[in-house]
């Protein structure tokens, strides 16, 4: 099974490193604390609507891109944690 990738890892590898932007600079430039950016990058904090709007504006992406990454990550994490085998599908009469 492939590793579930947190959106913070994508932020770090595909944007910060790619464009030579430090976590401190990103935080300052978008009005977030560098600590919050670091927590996102380390997978300790989720991308919220607020942070998605800010990061998207800064890098010229869409907020939906960031929220979809987070949503997909969250769904995969939940799917790995819960057991759905005992839930039967609804059958309309």
pLDDT at 71: 98
The pLDDT tens digits for 41-59 are 999 999 999 999 999 999 9
pLDDT at 1: 63
pLDDT at 24: 98
CATH superfamily of 7-63: lambda repressor-like DNA-binding domains (1.10.260.40)
Q: How many CA atoms lie within 13 A of 47 on its CB side?
A: 26
pTM: 0.89
pLDDT at 70: 98
Q: Residues in the chain with pLDDT < 50?
A: none
Q: What angle in degrees, to the nearest 10, is found between the helix axes of 23-30 and 49-59?
A: 100
pLDDT at 2: 76
Question: What is the rounded CA–CA span in Å between residue 85 and residue 69?
Answer: 26
């Amino acid at each position: 099974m492939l590793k579930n990738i947190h959106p913070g890892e994508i932020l770090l590898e595909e944007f910060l490193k790619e464009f030579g932007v430090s976590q401190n600079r990103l935080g300052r430039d978008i009005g977030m604390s560098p600590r919050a950016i670091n927590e996102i990058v380390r997978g300790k904090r989720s991308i919220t609507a607020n942070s998605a709007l800010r990061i998207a504006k800064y890098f010229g992406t869409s907020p939906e891109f960031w929220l979809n990454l987070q949503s997909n990550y969250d769904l995969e994490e939940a799917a790995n944690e819960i057991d759905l085998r005992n839930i039967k599908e609804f059958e309309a009469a």
